[in-house]
Each structure stands twice: as C-alpha cells, then as structure tokens.
Structure 1
C-alpha cells in the first residue's frame, strides 16, 4: 500500500461497513448470461446475483481491452486520464490511487485471485503489488477443461477469508481468466451443447465452425460462473452474504472479430449485476446507461457512508456512484445521458507497435466513434514479417483479433457472399467517423456518418464527445496524442512491413516519434 494515503480511519469510517466481492470475467459480452435470456449459456451464479439484486442491461467498459479497462475500474477515471495505464501492457503510475488501497487504509482486508490488473508491469510503476490487492494464488486444481486456469479461484477466496480477523470488513477481487482465448476446441459440443441452440451475433457469420466456437466460449463463461457460485455459497454458509456487495461484470467484449479491441457496441457492452441483500431484496432491471468507472465510487460510498463526498475531494473520479439504485424510495435518480469509451494500443499488430486510437460516445439511441488514425488498420496489419525475415501472407496479420477458429473461418471464406461484408467490417480500414443507430442496428453494421439525414445527429454527438474529451484533458484532442506511441509495451513486439503513407510529411513526423520510442525501449 502506498504510504501517502491520508484517509483518517477514525473520522471517515462507515460504522455499518459492507464487505465487497468483485467478480470480473475476461472477455465476455452482453448479453451472454442466462439472466438475459441466453439459454445456451447457463449462469446460475450470475442469475442469483441478478435476481436478488439489480440486473443492468446497458453497462459499458471504459475500454475494449483488458488492462486499460481494469485500470479505469480501479481508479474511477477514463483511460485517457491515466497515462501509461490507459493503454495495453504498459505501466500503472503509482500517483493514480486505486480503490483497494483506499479501502485498506479504512481497515478493510483486501486481496485478489486470478487476473487482477494486467497485462502490464506494475513493478516498474513503483508499486509494491498488483493494483487489485494482495494476491492469493496458493491453491491449484485440475480442471476438466484443458484451456482454463488451474488456479482454484474459490479455494483461494476461502484461504483469504480464513486469514480475516473477526468482524474485519473485506474486499476481494475475483479475476477469472475465462473466457479469454484460447478455448479447448470442440469442448462445447463435447459437453453436450447443441449447435442449433446458439444465438449467433449479427456481426459474425452463421456457420457450424462459428457456432462451435461460440459454444466453447459459453463453456468457459460457465466455468467462471461455477467458481462465482461456490463463493456465494461460502458467504452464505458463514453468514456474510447479506452484508456483502457482490458485483459481477466483465472487462470488455468477447474475443471474436469486430468485438474485443473495438470501441463499439460489440467491444464494450458487458454484463453487470449487483447484489446487496441487506439494502435491497432484488427483482429490479435497470436500462440506464452505466460505465464501469462507476464501480470505484459505488464501492467507496458504501464503505464511507455520509463521509463519501469528503473523500472524493482527495480522490476525484469521473465515475458516479450507483448506490442510489438501491434506495427503494428514491425515484429521481440522476441518469447518464451518455457513456464514453476509448482505445489505444491492444496487441502488437502494426508497424513499430503503432496504436489504433479511438474515442466513442454511446447514448440510448446512437453510437458515435472517432477514429483518429484512419490510415491505420483497425484489426492490425494484414501481413507481418516472420522470424525468417519473410512476409507472411493471410494468417500473418490481424493480431488485434485474438487467434480463433472463427477468425480462421472468416479469412478462409472472406470472398463468400455471407462472410465478405462481415469480414470487411472486422478488418478493413475505417473512416474517421462512424455513426450507428443502436436501436435498429445493434451490431454496428451500417455506418450512417455520410448519410445526409443524420448530419444533425452526428454534429451533436461530435460536439458532445469533443467537449467531454477537452474537459477531461484527453491528449488526443489537446495536441499531445502521439505520446501514446512512446509508452513502452512489455510483451513481445512483432515486425510488420512499413506502411506506404500518401503524405510524406505525416510519415516523417511519425517516424521521428517512433525512432524516439524505440531508443527509449532499447
């Protein structure tokens, strides 16, 4: 824990402090839980939280990638407010306080198991531990599925609870590594699931290969849910279920083409359910727009009670507490008019590790996306340079899409009538602006940005997004956007052929930035 936290325990504590269990899956899209009516995915744990708490239908991650999304959850800030932590696989500057640190200073026992904040290098950020808390990873198991983690999440939670002092409030982050790729191919069918039961999202082709891949994905969601259910059962057995706030969500969308790593509906719309039995007995569905940056202030308001506003002076956040939704008497809840999303770098998928910068605004009716570098490939360059120095064709690119049977199928069948348009949406270069009518086009297939009938809509959303980015000092609009190209990536960096930019002056400017970046890395 950082030593400069200055919260006074004797003045700020909420006498009736709840416990917090935060459960986050890895790469799961809305509406992929049976509480939302998707009966080809069985999620009794999530369904219990939703039925006995609040089910949210319009929750969005701050970013469509793991580490920036998790950094935003931990801080209550937008990703562009977090420097290196706002991109993938970089650092997490210690000046950005995370809610587990604040809770620990209040007297909470804090811990996590599985995937906390990451991927990234928190040690280079002068932090003493993962921002999610103290790690619990002592107990392992032999799962039936080959590609799921062998970490026994639920037993590590039990280990955490066994170390807790009597009546000590706790916060625990259960970070499942599922349903992140790779999946055990064919495991869904092997488990007894049927191809015909699958609901294929409209941005994917409908084929047996894709349906089977979706069943494998569903099985990993169910594994996450089984671990969650074990934790809920444990809390009930020790009499702590009713005084524990249970939050279940995901960090970003599913690892399929045109979903994860895209600041659109498919990459950022996630499941969310919250239960606090002591305050609310459940049965509510909320359709209001919610951002996952709202999690941190929600947890802190629950912990600090009436002193919450004083604490927020020391720890300002862009997120808004969701606790008003648990007040059965309150009818005038201040609702968000919009949520905002962003992405920079995801995988190493372009020449010299270039980012693909996007910002987006989502209202109840529309999604507007600003692509700051439309000359770049959104899914990564279609070719890369192999270890032998040769250019690899076909399967050598698109590394911002996780390798999968679905991607393989779409590459192989990219010229088929059913696949061609969907493949183009997933991998082709995009215009600087995109506009989608979410009510009529939930899969973001028909870009209305050039449609004259929607110019009033797009101008309004463009202005709202721009104003918010300026207000929150996003480098992409304040004139220092290329700083993202200087943030070090700690994992492997692939080699790609140099782009052939039309504008030589633009190319030379980028070359200068990238040369500086590479010098720093070396």
Structure 2
C-alpha cells in the first residue's frame, strides 16, 4: 500500500473521562489495557488542555478550531450553528467519507444538527445508557442494548459499509462515563471486593482559596443525588466522615465500571482495524471533552480551571508517522485538533481556525517557539446545579493564574447575580495539587505582574475581551 496515502482518521472521544482514570497516565484506581495499546503504540500527551471545561463548548472548539467566544458555544445551553466552518466539512469536500456516531450535544434544532457528515446517528442531549434513543439522520429511533456497545457496533457497521478506496473520518463519541453513572450489566460487580484509593486532596478544606472554590456545589458529601447518582441512600449511623467515604466508593466504582466498557470498545475498534489491514493507514485518537474531578478536592464534575478538570487525556497512534512509546510534555489544546487533521489530509487550514497543527510534535519534534502558556475561559456563572463562578486564566509550564470575575455577561444558563472578583495563583512546581493560593504572597508579586501581562497578550491573540479586573 502506498506510503503517501492520505490517512484515515478514527477520532474517539468519551465524555468526562479524566486522564487519571487511565493506566497509561499512571492511574492509581483502575487499569485500561486497550487504551494503553494506543499509548504504547503511539504518543501520549501529558499536557493537553481544554479551553473551556464543559461538554458543548469543548466539542464546538474541537469541530471549529475556534475559541467559544467566536464559535458561539459558550455554555451547555448554546447550540452550534452548523453553517460555520468545521474540519469534517473540509475533509468531506476534499474526498473523505465522514461519519459522526454517538454523543453530539450541540443541539437538534434549526441549524444545529450535525453537518459535514455523510452519515450521522447521535443521542439526543446527554443520551441514555440503557436502550438509548438516537437521531439517525434526523429520525428518532430506539435501540435495545447498552450505549457504549451500540455506539461501537454502529461505528464498525459504518466502517464495514464504507468505500474502501477513499479515506475516512469517523468520529466515535461515547456518552460514557457521563453522570449519572450506569454501568453495563457485565461490569455491574466490578470492584465489589476492593476499596478504591482516595485521591490525595480528598479532604481539601479550601483554606487558602477563593469563595469560588468554597461555594462550588460539586462536593461528594453534600451535592450528589443519592437515588440518581448513587442509586442508594447511605446506611444509617455513619459519621460524616464515614458517609463521605461511603459516597466516594459508590460514585467512583460506577464511574470506573462505565470506563471499563469504554476500554472494551477501544479494543474492538483496534481489532477491527487490524483485521481489515488498515491499522498502518489510520490515525487513531482517543480523548475526552475535558477532565473530571474523581474525588479530587472532594469534588465530582469539572468546570473549574484546576488540573484534574483542565487536563484532557490525549493519546494518538499512527504507525506510519508516530514512533511507538512516544511521550511529550508539549502543550496541546483542543482547538489544535482540526489543524492537525487537516495537515495530515493535505487540506489547507482556514485562517479563522485558531489552533496549530500538532504534526511535528506527533512525529517527535516540538517546533521552535511552541506555546508555553494557554488561555482558558469558563463563561457560565452560578448555573442552577453547580454554582461555579465565571472565570478566566492562564496556565504556563509552572504557574496558573485564575481570575474569577463573577458575572453572567448574558451567557445562557447563567444566573445574573454578580460575585466579588477574586484571584488565585498556584506555583505548580511547589504545589502540584493546587492547595496553596499564593496570589497575595509578596514573594510572587513580580511573577503575578508577568502572568497578568501574558494573560492579556493571550486574550488579544485569541480575540477575546477581558472584563474589568479588580485586585
């Protein structure tokens, strides 16, 4: 087979799968042997970050290569206007056969249905785990079975029917392991006989931190719905500490059981590529739309700019170009994905796309002048369920500066009640778990000034407008 053949692209994305629940990232709590196959045979990114840690905005950034203030999807209540440019449209126009299967979560009205795909079948909204509904090319259908297995089966079925003389883009998007965590029957008793280790920051008391951290309603001990999330009520007679431990075990085990189905799915897809003899010609990407708190800081969910939420898993296999067992600490962003795929396909990257191709990094060479800082913005403010303040900030190789501006600014899904602005600064070298806010520490005064300058430079670069910043 020709070595200059344009690669197939199999883009697999789960929902809320934190990298620290993958053994290739050194997980303390589970094993993911099939996901590890991708990392072992390709490249693993230690520093891949989302630009907005929430489902719809991250998905929109991945499709358009643009930050959310430009692609129009700032919150989970915004729909993607499908008339704008996306990388699947560009690949489709240049001869790729394209499919979108699984979770869409970018709307189903007006111009919000998937565009740029020859075939699509997507779950409505968050979707269902058991006997789920799908919109298949706009027609609502229900299928018997478990969502992860069905999405995998539909993906393989589409691959079987493809034109084998043309390259393909398949976006296989799993609903799992999104809340509420409902595992497949085959994994329902996985981990029953063990206790999952608690994270190092499980008992964080937020002592040095902002009110934004203290008031976020994502605490395992108080904010989970017992009957929906835990599917049980705590036993009587537990102390508050014992109850928190009990809740964590209920939560994390069901979460990891959902991940087990994801891992099985990956194995089935990789085996199919091997059987077809196209593994050498196929870029396989696995990622999640953002990270997730797995009891870290006592939380579940995401949204906040702390590491567990900000970091995305990102592993890639492409035997023709990527050396097996590669690993990089180069900083990658979700807005980089489209430019990378277009680069490999030989399709020009539109100027409106704001990310950069990762091709050189995939192939072992970080370009001179590659980014050493990234910009993040969470637009929703005091949403109904999680009470997270709106904020933006930057992460460099060593530091993280966060500004909670605490205003809705007309963002959909926000509550229009301002909160006093606050800053946080973390020295990730000295404080990798982000427990000690040093913003008011005079020792960091010069660093703070430099970081604010970099923050404003990045905002200008990505065409975002800062709000009035108050010390």
- Shared fold, TM over 0.5: yes
Tell me what 1:155 maps to.
153
More strand as a share of residues: 2
Distance across 1 between alignment mates of 2:182 and 2:112: 35
* Partners of 2:48 and 2:311 within 8 A in 1: yes
Quote how far apart the aligned CAs of 1:51 are. 0.4
* Partners of 1:324 and 1:333 within 8 A in 2: no
Q: How does 1:450-489 map to 2 (within 5 A)?
A: 450-477=440-467
* Partners of 1:101 and 1:133 within 8 A in 2: no
For structure 2, the 5+ residue unaligned runs are 122-133, 137-141, 205-243
Distance across 1 between alignment mates of 2:435 and 2:116: 37
Distance across 1 between alignment mates of 2:460 and 2:16: 30
Tell me what 1:192 maps to.
191
Distance across 1 between alignment mates of 2:35 and 2:389: 33
* Partners of 2:331 and 2:371 within 8 A in 1: yes
Q: For 1:349, which of 352, 374, 384 is the aligned residue?
A: 384
Quote how far apart the aligned CAs of 1:326 are. 3.5
Q: How does 1:266-305 map to 2 (within 5 A)?
A: 266-304=308-346
Matched, 1:325 2:361: yes
SS in 2 for 1:270: coil
Matched, 1:42 2:31: yes
Distance across 2 between alignment mates of 1:115 and 1:77: 20
Distance across 1 between alignment mates of 2:464 and 2:394: 14
Distance across 1 between alignment mates of 2:311 and 2:274: 30
Distance across 1 between alignment mates of 2:293 and 2:144: 25
CA distance change for structure 1 residues 91 and 331 in 2, over 3 Å: closer, same or farther?
A: closer
Deviations 1:346-405 (A, max 9, x none): 88418xx998421121111111111111799xxx999xxxxxxxxxxxxxxxxxxxxxxx
TM-score (norm 2): 0.76
Matched, 1:121 2:83: no
CA distance change for structure 1 residues 52 and 216 in 2, over 3 Å: closer, same or farther?
A: same
Quote how far apart the aligned CAs of 1:248 are. 0.6
Could you say which structure has the larger radius of gyration? 1
Quote how far apart the aligned CAs of 1:302 are. 0.4
Matched, 1:368 2:367: no
Greater RCO, CA 8 A, separation 6+? 2
Moved more, 185-194 or 229-238: 185-194
CA distance change for structure 1 residues 185 and 28 in 2, over 3 Å: closer, same or farther?
A: closer
Matched, 1:336 2:336: no
* Partners of 1:55 and 1:284 within 8 A in 2: yes
Deviations 1:303-350 (A, max 9, x none): 01xxx5xx22x343221111102335x465543211221111288418
Matched, 1:226 2:268: no
* Partners of 1:289 and 1:337 within 8 A in 2: yes
Distance across 1 between alignment mates of 2:43 and 2:255: 25
Question: How many residues are aligned here?
Answer: 399
Tell me what 1:401 maps to.
none
Distance across 2 between alignment mates of 1:240 and 1:43: 23
Tell me what 2:306 maps to.
264
Matched, 1:248 2:238: no
Quote how far apart the aligned CAs of 1:258 are. 6.5
TM-score (norm 1): 0.69
CA distance change for structure 1 residues 461 and 49 in 2, over 3 Å: closer, same or farther?
A: same
Q: For 2:100, which of 112, 132, 137 is the aligned residue?
A: 112
For structure 1, the 5+ residue unaligned runs are 1-13, 144-148, 383-428, 482-522
Q: For 1:97, which of 61, 85, 101 is the aligned residue?
A: 85
Moved more, 44-53 or 154-163: 154-163
* Partners of 2:82 and 2:114 within 8 A in 1: no
* Partners of 2:53 and 2:304 within 8 A in 1: yes
CA distance change for structure 1 residues 194 and 133 in 2, over 3 Å: closer, same or farther?
A: farther
* Partners of 1:56 and 1:272 within 8 A in 2: yes
CA distance change for structure 1 residues 157 and 470 in 2, over 3 Å: closer, same or farther?
A: same
* Partners of 2:380 and 2:408 within 8 A in 1: no
* Partners of 2:400 and 2:428 within 8 A in 1: yes
SS in 2 for 1:123: coil
Distance across 1 between alignment mates of 2:407 and 2:262: 37
Distance across 1 between alignment mates of 2:169 and 2:382: 31
